[in-house]
Structure 1
Amino acid sequence: MKIRILYNLGLLQEDMKAYQKAVMYYKEALFLSEKNSDKEAKSIILNGIGSVLFLLGRDEEASDNLRKAISLSSEIDAGQVLWNAFSVLAGLQKKQGAYKDALNSYEYAMDVIEKSRSSLADEDFKASFLGSNRRLEVYHGAIDLLFRLSQREKVSDAAALAFGFMERAKARGFLDSLEIGRVSAAQPVASETEGRLKSLQARLSRLSRRLADPPESSDERNKLEEEASTLEEDYDEVRRDLRTHDPRYAAVRFPELISLEGMRKDLLDDDTVVFTYAVGRESAYGLAIDRKGQRFFPLPSPSALRELVGRHLKWVSDRERSPERTGEELYRALIDPGLDGPCRRMLIVPDDFLHYLPFETLRSADDPSWMGARTEIAYVPSLSSLAEIEKRVKRQKAPSFDLLAVAAPDRGKEEGKTSLQFREREVEEIARLFDSGKRILLKGLEANEKSLKANRIEEAGIIHFAAHGTIDEQKPVRSAIVLRDDPTSEEDGFLQAREVFDFRLKAGLVVLSSCRSAGGRLLRGEGVVGLNRSFLFAGASTV
């Protein structure tokens, strides 16, 4: 207990930047850990001492303590200490100009992190694992190091290595989920489990309907929220239990990450340029790739870039459209260094807050037209996940019909009549492009959840929703497409992301023509988790 107290006091002093006092407390804790032969505590404390000595500029002592922490944590398999010590050691080696040694240390840290991540059974934990506890900074530190190394020594494979680190740090949870989805689609869930899931979903639907028009009493609202959260936890627990005990999931081999050359060969054509980004806490970089080569370039500092993106988003959403040059500034920072001539298509792999940026609204100072008006732009969570989606498309059976289009009004709003008129016109115009026997339109009273599920949504080649959308950033599985409420049905009229995850779609395209439908919860290293991600998981090729 005394060791822990002293160590925590050291942490507190470190947070307060009182580094000398932190070292004093850490050394007292180290003495007691050695006296008690507590190897785990000793490894943690040695890492703490090394980290603080590095901040104090006492590099030789810092290196000595970090190497002791690495040796001891390797002996007892203390992964958290091990990757942390390697990461700090890499920073020290980078500071000293030993770039290749630093790169090796970063790679050792990544290997430990990914070994720890692979042992996690819970998919939600796996999705948030890289973005928590500074783990992502290992990858960003390595990318920053590679750029410095490429400038100093003109390293030929710097871009390929940077590409690999970017892919290792992006949407790993989503990539794994694609394989989970493939296994889930291969065979039906056991009837008993399916019954439990349906029962829980029915209860959740009833609660969603009540939460859509909540009682005035805050106590009643809180009670409903608590009940909904409990049911959601039960639903997730049934899912976890299924995947823990079903041998099909135990045998899952998660997809490998695509290489730079593999991506260029399998995903690129002569008219496409890929832009992939890495935004850390202290540095940010872009990598542009086409058939001819690649360009690795620095971005403005993350704080300056965030401020610029924020100003641009404010300008884009301002109806008055007061003069602003943020679109040109962002184009100059994010696009211009990566272009080697005009291109017809761009594939964007954003990172961190760049997920919120509509690249279509950028423009060159030499061309007044918006980028989206002259270039086809698509976004992907990672290039490895795109490769897996392409493989899935080849395995999928052909859809039974071409189009399922839905036009639903806003709920409880007088202006819903006007919006419905335009939504119905929208889907009617789209429907004219398809043979009458190959399309299904749901509008008016038919635009409800029960009709949607009854009309073979899983067999449609294109699914188009013209409806209101709700986004829950705290609980993305509650994000929903709002359909017409049918009081005679058990369905609540909210097609939630949780329900979409259980579909087995064949759609090559899903269109969410609704406000904020691209939004959701931003997880560092994973991207935006919301409605769009649920449709991709369920089998859609493009959303």
Structure 2
Amino acid sequence: MMKRILTVTFLLTTLLTAAQQDLFLSGENYFQQGQYIRAFESYQAASVGFQQQQTLDQYALCNLKMAECHLETGALNQCMSQARNTLEYITDVLPQEKVLQLRAQLLLGEAYLKAGRNDLAMETLTSAEQSLPDPTDLSAAECYNDLGVVYWNNKNKETAKSYHERALKIRKARLKGEDPLLADSYLNLGLIYLEDDFLQAVINFNNALKIYQAAYGKNHPSVALCYGNLAFANSAQNNFGEALTYLDLTMNIWDSHYSGDHPNKAFTLSNRGRILEAQGDYHKALLTQQEALQQYIRLYGVKHPEVANTFYLIGSVQLKQENYKEAVESFQKSIYANLQNQEYTSLYDLPELQDYFNADILLSSLQYKAQALEALHFGKTLKPSDIKSALSTYLKCDDLISQIRQKRLTEGDKIRIGSIAADVYDDGIRTALYLSDKTFQKKYFREIAFTFCERSKSAVLLEAINETKAKAFAGIPNHLLTLEDSLKTEISLLEQLLANTKDESRLGSLQNALFETRQSYRTFITSLEKEYPNYFNLKYRQADISVAALQEKLTPTAGVLSYFIGEESIFVFLISKKDFEVFSLPKADNLVQLTKGLRNAIKYHIPSTFQSSSISLYKQLIPDLPDGLQSLTIIPDGLLGTIPFESLLSESKDGGNNTYLLEKYAISYDYAASLLLEKLDAPAGTAMGILLTAPVSFEQNELTMASLPGSEQEVKEIRYLFLSGADAPEILLKDQASEAMLKSSKLSEYKYLHFATHGIVNESKPALSRIFLSPTENEDGSLYSGEIYGLNIGADLVTLSACETGLGKVEKGEGIIGLSRSLMYAGAKNLIVSLWQVSDASTAQLMIEFYKQHLNHSGNMIFADDLRKAKLSLLKSSSYSDPYYWAPFILIGL
């Protein structure tokens, strides 16, 4: 009898299990077809049976699939609730089911993403990443894919790309054929490429489309996503008709799958509104955006990033329609829709910068609100309250930019925000100067304008230098600093190897190693900032520099000219001991051509072009200066950092000879006024001695370059000059001038470092710019910019008597990025670098003369006048009077 009962029970359990599996598989089939409501019903029915049978892992899986159906239908609150409850259930009842736990975390992270809670998504997915059972399986690929989306939402583009590439690589290795998961990766990579590489974006979108159509047919939601992204791509290329066709295809699919409101429908409507706006059909654009807005509000309520973004887009249309008051209202609604717990009572209210959903949307809304207030003032009201509110809003933008920089992870992504910030600062400077002219608070508003100008200067470099100082004062143990140095060194080495490798078989392993090392570095920095809050506060402290503080440190004969190139004007800030003036000069239409023309005319000896471009640039850039000045520190902006101001010619008024700026002033350069003030305020250094380095021959280097026989004579002559002084010279010549020797030297102990060698600037990848030294068995002889960041330099002066070492990639809002920045970060107080290649004979003469002049008053660490006198000696000579020989060497510092 007992045996019969057991048999019947077993048979019944088997039948029940089979029935639940059929229901589950039915749900899977419906889900793949995009029929999410029917899929939910099947999963729900299956879950009941699995619970009754105590097949608890299958029960939990069904609940996760039900939550996934909620996600696809846009029922985000239900999705998050079910995903959280299931995660808690798995953690409590099925702690051994790590794969299910990971799946629940990933689903919850994706729900947070769609709900606009990028912060919670980051927290959840980072936790999932840290507990991955196998970092090379498909679950890991899904985690990397979702983290890529999180980083992309935060505009950490480079990090996002590395995560999506990692996910795609795993999926290619694990999946056979053209699986839809591969298409997910192609789709996300296409979005990352969309801003910078249209062709690559379209290739990725089409790859995804082909896979989705083969797997699901032509009417699946995943296919609609591809059409929507192809619409984006075509719109970016002004192919508006093609873009609208793709959006029609997209909406047809959404309508066939979803009745009523859905986030994807609202998103497609909003994109249609953007295209209509770009076509100039503002009336239809506004109606379409308003329809999208109402759908978003019904779905999410009034607090959501998509609601904020749609209010912003409505305001953009209204601004173009010159409906300024309505535009201000829309931008204000956008601002407060982006804030979780704040409301406004007046259009002039400004938010506390905390608990916002999306920083980039918030920045755009603030910036455009300020522009709309300006337009309202000038176009309608002329009310002082409107223009003053515009300035206050630009100041709030500046505060937010500082917060955004903290969230950018790589140098490239930090630099990218500088380009956006530059537009804010252009508007801010213009508005502040207008108020300076129209009110009795001239100095106050000029100071604000100067602050905006200063904010646009080398923010990434300043943050990096600040970070180094913060570590020194935050009490971080040496072993942690050593660990950080090793991680940074490893990243730099792997980047170099990747850039230079031609071995395809090594490429994959190098990419893996770089991804993992960067991952470790991010984790390390995050923990450091949490465990040492003082370090975090010091690192991101935004020190304001006052004009009065700078004036206090300037000598009566010293002046500073800080430049900002705006859309329509060049703003020049003149600061001397007694004067603070701001000049708004009309920006020449051919400014770029003039700067390039000047450089080329000097480099290729074209006297007529040099004469005209030099005189034109003098008129464009040099305002009337007060009497009594003998030195000028130039803080350039953008392309102005590529020209030597010393070579600018002031036109003679009486028919006599034109005069070089060099003949009037000792000229130096700096990246920012705050760095200049630090140098003026710094105590005298304690380092002694000079290290002279000259490889001379480069036959054994990776790149074979011409030998520099004049460099040997140059360093020997400089060594001779120093023999009689307190700064004992040390010389590394030929094979001794090796990369290995330099890295092993105690560079912080030298007062002067002098490199007479070749250098190459890599404008596309500044970290791969390099100085050439002699190779050894373990070193290739290329001291890369990335490696220089890791050196410990304490020199008062570093001289690169080399080719084009002062150049680099010009980034809007950041300046020139190259070798000189890395040396400044490594601790060099002052630098002499070159803007183009010069013969080693004239270089040797200039350098020898410079050190002669300097050693006449060796206790003075002001180098600008010494370099001026050395240049004047060449200018007066018979062989080297042409600017080609003396103009390229510039001093960054004092």
**TM-aligned CA deviation for residue 93 of structure 1:** 2.1
Q: Give the alignment's TM-score, normalised by structure 2.
A: 0.55
Q: Partners of 1:5 and 1:460 in 2: how far apart? A: 63
Native 8 Å contact 2:740 2:779 kept in 1: yes
Which consecutive unaligned segments of at least 5 residues does structure 1 have?
215-219
Once the two structures are TM-superposed, the CA of residue 276 in structure 1 deviates from its matched residue by: 0.7
Secondary structure of the residue that 1:507 maps to in structure 2?
A: coil
Q: Is 1:173 aligned to residue 455 of structure 2?
A: no
Superposed CA deviations along residues 434-464 of structure 1, whole A, max 9, x for unmatched, are 1278111111221111122233223111001
Q: CA deviation at 1:372?
A: 2.4
Return the letter of the residue paired with 1:42: V
Q: How much has 1:528 moved relative to structure 2?
A: 1.3
In the other structure, the counterpart of 2:330 is 65
State which of 10, 31, 43 in structure 1 corresponds to 2:273: 10
Q: CA deviation at 1:410?
A: 5.4
Deviations 1:125-154 (A, max 9, x none): 67315324x332111101112223333446
User: Matched residue of 2:314: which SS?
Assistant: helix
Asked if the contact 2:421–2:813 (Cα under 8 Å) also holds between the matched residues in 1, the reply is no
5 Å-filtered alignment, 1:30-429, equals: 30-38=293-301, 39-40=303-304, 41-74=306-339, 75=342, 77-78=356-357, 79-95=359-375, 96-97=377-378, 98-118=386-406, 120=407, 122=409, 124=411, 127-132=414-419, 134-153=420-439, 155-157=441-443, 158-183=445-470, 188-190=478-480, 207=497, 211=500, 220=502, 236-246=518-528, 247-248=531-532, 249-250=535-536, 252-253=538-539, 254=541, 256-266=543-553, 268-301=554-587, 303-323=589-609, 324-337=611-624, 339-366=625-652, 368-389=658-679, 393-394=682-683, 398-399=686-687, 401-409=688-696, 411-412=698-699, 419-429=707-717
Give the counterpart of 1:500 among 767, 772, 788: 788
1:244 touches 1:250 (CA, 8 Å); kept in 2? no
Letter in 1 for 2:619: R
- 1:221 to partner: Cα distance: 6.1
Cα shift readout 1:142-183 (whole Å, capped 9, x = no counterpart)? 111222333344641232121111112222221121122235
* Structure index of larger Rg: 2
Do the aligned partners of 1:352 and 1:522 also contact (CA within 8 Å) in 2? yes
Structure 1 pair 165–195 and aligned structure 2 pair: CA distance change class (3 A): closer
* SS of residue matched to 2:335: helix
Quote how far apart the aligned CAs of 1:230 are. 6.1
SS at the partner of 1:433?
A: helix
Output one character per residue of 1:236-261: Cα deviation in whole Å (capped at 9) or x when no partner. 55544443333454453435121111
Q: Which amino acid aligns with 1:308?
A: L
Return closer, same or farther for 1:229/1:519 CA change in 2, 3 Å cut-off.
Answer: farther
Kindly indicate whether structure 1 or structure 2 has the higher relative contact order, using CA contacts under 8 Å at least 6 residues apart. 1
Taking a change above 3 Å as real, the CA distance of residues 197 and 104 of structure 1, as seen in their structure-2 partners, is closer
Going from structure 1 to structure 2, the CA distance change for 1:353 and 1:467 (only over 3 Å counts) comes to: same
Counterparts of 1:506-517 in structure 2, within 5 Å, are: 506-517=794-805
Q: Is the 1:178–1:388 contact (alpha carbons within 8 Å) kept by the matching residues of 2?
A: no
Alpha-carbon distance, 1:336 to partner = 2.5
Q: Classify 1:513/1:343 alpha carbon distance in 2 versus 1 (closer, same or farther; 3 Å).
A: same
**2:257 maps to what in 1?**
none
Of 470-479 and 382-391, deviating more is: 382-391
> Contact (CA 8 Å) 1:127, 1:174: kept in 2 or not?
no
- Assess if the C-alpha contact under 8 Å between 1:410 and 1:416 holds in 2: no
* Distance change (3 Å), C-alpha of 1:277 and 1:320: closer
In 1, the alpha carbon distance for the partners of 2:493 and 2:397 equals: 45
Distance in 1, matches of 2:424 and 2:493, equals 44
| Percent sequence identity over aligned pairs | 26
Alignment of 1:501-540 (within 5 A): 501-540=789-828
Contact 1:130 1:524 survives alignment (8 Å): no
Give the C-alpha shift of residue 105 in structure 1: 2.1
Inter-CA distance 111–455: structure 2 relative to 1 (3 Å threshold): closer
Distance in 2 separating the partners of 1:174 and 1:198: 18
CA distance in 1, matches of 2:294, 2:494: 57
Q: Is the 8 A contact 1:347 1:379 kept in 2?
A: yes
| TM-superposed deviation, 1:318 | 2.0
More helix by share: 2
Distance 1:313 1:194 in 2: 39
Residue 285 of structure 1 deviates from its aligned partner by: 1.1
Q: CA RMSD in A?
A: 3.0
SS of the aligned residue for 2:690 comes to: strand
Normalised by the length of structure 1, the TM-score is 0.87
Aligned to 1:217: none
Task: State the partner residue of 2:206.
Answer: none
Is contact 1:160–1:260 with CA below 8 Å preserved after alignment?
A: yes
Q: Distance in 2 between matches of 1:518 and 1:233?
A: 31
Contact 1:123-1:173 within 8 A present in 2 as well = no
Contact 1:312 1:326 in 2 (8 A): yes
Contact 1:409–1:417 (Cα < 8 Å) also in 2 = no
Structure 2: tracts of 5 or more residues without a match: 1-263, 343-354, 379-385, 832-894
1:537: how far off?
Answer: 0.7
Structure 1 position 429, deviation (Å): 1.7
Contact 1:47 1:66 in 2 (8 A): yes
Measure the CA separation in 2 of the matches of 1:369 and 1:224. Answer: 58
SS at the partner of 1:296? strand
The DSSP-based 3-state class of the residue aligned with 2:442 is coil
d(CA) in 2 for partners of 1:242, 1:37: 36
Distance of aligned partners of 1:232 and 1:495 in 2 relative to their CA distance in 1, 3 Å threshold? farther
Aligned partners of 1:90 and 1:101 also within 8 Å: yes
* Distance of aligned partners of 1:413 and 1:359 in 2 relative to their CA distance in 1, 3 Å threshold: farther
Question: Structure 1 residues 402 and 364 mapped into 2: Cα distance closer, same or farther (>3 Å)?
Answer: same
- CA drift of 1:408 comes to 1.9
Q: Are the structure 2 counterparts of residues 423 and 200 from structure 1 closer, same or farther at C-alpha, using a change threshold of 3 Å? A: same
Aligned amino acid, residue 469 of structure 1: G
CA distance in 2, matches of 1:539, 1:377: 22
